[in-house]
A and B are shown apart, each in its own frame.
Chain A
Amino acid sequence: MTINAGLQGRSYPPAQSYSVGRESIREFATALKATHRAHFDVAAARELGHGDLVAPPTYAIIVAQRADAQLIGDPDSGIDFSRVVHAEQKFTHHRPIVAGDELVAELHVDTVRAMGGGAMITTRTEISTVTGDPVATTVSAILVRGEGQ
């Protein structure tokens, strides 16, 4: 199966919003062996001036990968998920993600580059609150390995 070159420039509008909960932040931080109190203790987060528990720096990947799933799951994309390798990732935070946030993501396919029998695809996810305040921009490069790669 080949990657659809026409994917470049395509956007996927925000789907269902993601509710950031305290237990989700605690579980994500625990899974990453993070121990900073602002991820676990509301009083500690408030001492630092935050409204609630603060998510770890890579938490936005949860929202970004849900957005990416729209592209990977699009039968028109030609992407075989079992051959996807994560090549690059970047997070730019416009403001911290805190418990209580209601987030939406708009996915943009910025580049599609053929590589061997596969392709390198760069996607950008603009994450904002449901009321439109920018929260984070994430950029991912995925390598879809061709046969024998």
Chain B
Amino acid sequence: MSALVTGLGVVAPNGLGTEEYWAATLAGKSGLGPITRFDASGYPARVAGEVPGFTAADHLPSRLLPQTDQMTRLALVAADWALRDAGVRAEELPEYAAGVVTAASGGGVEFGQRELQALWEHGREHVSAYQSFAWFYAVNTGQISIRQRTKGPSGVLVTEQAGGLDALGQARREVRKGVRLMLSGGVDGALCPWGWVAQLATGRVSEAGEYLPFAAEASGYLPGEGGAILVVEEAAAARQRGAAHRYGELAGYAATMDPAPGSGRPPGLGRAAANALADAGLTAADIDVVFADAAGVPELDRAEAAVLVDLFGPYGVPVTAPKSLTGRLAGGAALDVASALLALRDGVIPPSGPVREPAAALRLDLVCGAARPAPLRTALVLARGYGGFNAALVVRAAN
């Protein structure tokens, strides 16, 4: 029994909608720029990936607007688009046949900050009643399931960048248990002062305003908003209903935790990658491309490169980091999975954004400059979440 992705919905800083995002990504068009959503002039880092040209009222009913943060609006639209792409009307499925599992890092932080400010400045009677759930980290899963009338198994994963992969891993479990369809992935973002200082506290955000993973001049990462929602179905059921798109199978998945700092034991990313390959029944030689976690922090880039060299050998597999065009999205690496599936579809590896070349010592075949055409059957997606989370997902082209 295999779990197949049959629909994609993408909302990204460099493109609204799957095809716009993908065209921009292949062309190396960046969605990173000076923050406009709040006055960031007083902060040490001032560049992020904002989703441009998104007017929620064009896509969502007015009932939903007073009760949603920007990131929930983006998630609801991504879910709409994913289902439309899959050609499925979720409300036509039996009541408990579909579920939602998404990744979140923050929740409706921008909404929450506004209401907390109202509380302090004007008093409790000025706080929106919708604050009760609009800033809750599980709100996207809840709002998507209400809008799509899906009452099947649902949940939320909070493992920062690893979350997008962990959510898809959970969606795969549910499909294997017999759930007809899962909406999964992650769309999050908190481009407001509160969300921004939480990012800055990691000490990993680039104050130079550049996100150049694996480059010798790497200076940290840049955060972004948006992400991707994917439709996951059991492969035979998808074939039976004549699904228009069969982007690929979630063939292998694994997650690990890093050991406690100071333990001297190695981080868990390598084990996650090896376990995901084993779970897919594949060896390293079967993998055609890696979508890297690409932290952009020299020490973390070295650690990831070491894992890749250990698994594949020096320069042993094409590696790419298209997130350097969007920033690291708080909904986790779900967008990387969408990108990997689009790469399989089109037989092309997107470039690592603005990175000109990887640091020589890393011994990586990093795809830089231009997209690289290649026959692709499988991709490995890696993600590390702040706090020690590691996840790896293998996608394989549908037969």
A binds B: no
